[in-house]
Amino acid sequence: MKRSISRSAGIIGALALALTATACAGSDSDTSSSSGKASITFWGWAPGYDDAVKAFNRSHPDIEVTYQSVQPGAKGGYQKMLNAVTAGNAPCLAQVGYETLPSFAAQGALQDVAEYASPAKDDFQEAAWASVTLGDQVYGAPVDTGPMVMFYNKEVFDSLDLAPPATWAEYEKAARKIHASGPRRFISSPYLDYDYAGLAWQADAGWFGVKDDAWQVTIDSQANRKVADYWQGLVDEGLVSGAPMYDQAWYTGLGNGDIATVVGAVWQAGVIKGGAAKGSGKWAVAPMPQWTEGGDQVGNAGGSATAILDGCDAPEAAWEFAHWLSTDRKAFGALVDEAGLYPAAKDLLDLPQLEAGDAYFGGQKIYDVVAQASPHVNSSWTWGPLMTRTAADLNDGLGKAWAGKGTLTGALEATQRATVNEMRKQGLEVAE
């Protein structure tokens, strides 16, 4: 689905209601000198970014980029960036997750670079470009995306004569057969925050939109209830493991076959390989199950941009680097190897690093499955302006529901109320 012009313009209006009137001064280190050489600073945390900056500097004598590693966004990096913008000493560039960009825009922390960036729109996948734009404003360059697929334990599936489920109905049947084969065997584990968001994303169950230049919050919509009720049914039947994602118990379950699938973003391949070594050679990748037979819509989980922060005195140079980082074949190939990033740029989808077989997944060329999914990521998804708070509230409710101390629908309802209340408290217009 395509984001309409009127809808994006509405988002701009909604964000504008929250922007402060105070402009921030530019950073002392990010300037364009009289000689024409631009000096800019870039804050981020992804593995491989430091080497990419060095490569850029060697090939661009008129621009000097200084890379500074900061804590990942949710672990302090984002607050550091916002504090720097407020103090007037922010870097020109920062690694910012797509889910956080609207929050930065609402706080006036981003700088529009559409003047330089708009001609590059067709360089990127539609959903990725939509994640860095609001109306005619462009706030950075998309770096990577997180199209979702299904990682599954092929050894377990084959032993039970199960094919990878093409639909969620088939997934449910497979869940029963897997659990019946052993009381400690489950098809899945609980999903939280942005992993859970990807499940809603696929089902066109958006969480935010705009109505009459005000934010519309739809976390407990009928479409979202459909997703929640489906997973609640699996929980009620005891078909979902209690091991939280990324917990040691989760990695153990992936390694020994007790957890048979992970429906997640492409980058989960690295997570699974790194944490469940005993599963090597047993796993494979298949398309994400669909709600309707023959469907092809997928969700997205994760992905980030190289954003231009407010006050940057060298926006053209900042955009040049941001675009280069996302589109240079050699540099991004290294980022695939180092950080497991999947490119947002269309012309990089045939990188050699994405065409090799993976021994962990039985020699399968797993990125072939991802490449088929990537063009079908729903591009109509909109993140809200207070995602850190929204995700925390949702995680609290979902965590209890997965453990049988509430329901997933109840978690959505509570998060809806809490989000609306907080948005109004902070002066954001919210549609009834």
CA angle 310, 319, 339 (to 5 degrees): 100
Confidence bin at 37 (pLDDT 50/70/90): confident
CA distance 87 to 31: 17
Q: What mean pLDDT value characterizes the chain?
A: 91
Percent of residues, the chain, with pLDDT higher than 70:
92
* Type and span of the H or E element at 39: strand 38-44
- CB contact at 8 A, 150 and 261: yes
- CB contact at 8 A, 120 and 233: no
State the angle between helix axes of 387-402 and 193-202 in degrees (0 to 180), rounded to the nearest 10: 90
Delineate the domains of the chain, giving CATH numbers in brackets.
5-145+303-354 (3.40.190.10), 148-299+381-425 (3.40.190.10)
Integer Rg of the chain from CA: 22
- Mean of pLDDT values over 20-33: 43
- Token pair 């009381």: residue: 183
Largest CA distance in the chain: 73
Q: What integer pLDDT is reported at residue 340 of this predicted model? A: 85
CA distance 10 to 16: 10
C-alpha of 241 from chain center:
24
Q: What are the φ and ψ backbone dihedral angles of 216, each rounded to 5 degrees?
A: -115, 125
* DSSP-based three-state secondary structure for 173: helix
Q: Which of 137, 143, 105 is nearest to 123 (CA)?
A: 143
Which stretches of 222-360 are DSSP H helices? Answer: 222-236, 248-256, 268-275, 315-327, 329-339
pLDDT at position 338 over 80: yes
Q: What integer pLDDT is reported at residue 4 of this predicted model? A: 29
Number of neighbouring beta carbons within 10 Å of residue 375:
15
What are 322's two structure tokens?
A: 């941001």
Q: Note the pLDDT tens digit of each residue in 118-171.
A: 999 999 999 999 999 988 999 999 999 999 999 999 999 999 999 999 999 999
Q: Note the pLDDT tens digit of each residue in 63-109.
A: 999 999 999 998 899 999 999 999 999 999 999 999 999 999 989 99
- CB-based contacts of 264, cutoff 8 Å, min separation 6: 148, 149, 151, 195, 198, 301
CA distance 295 to 315: 42
Q: What integer pLDDT is reported at residue 30 of this predicted model? A: 64
Confidence bin at 213 (pLDDT 50/70/90): confident
Q: What integer pLDDT is reported at residue 212 of this predicted model? A: 84
What are 44's two structure tokens?
A: 């981020």
CA distance 175 to 62: 58
- Token pair 């462009």: residue: 138
Per DSSP, 291 falls in state S
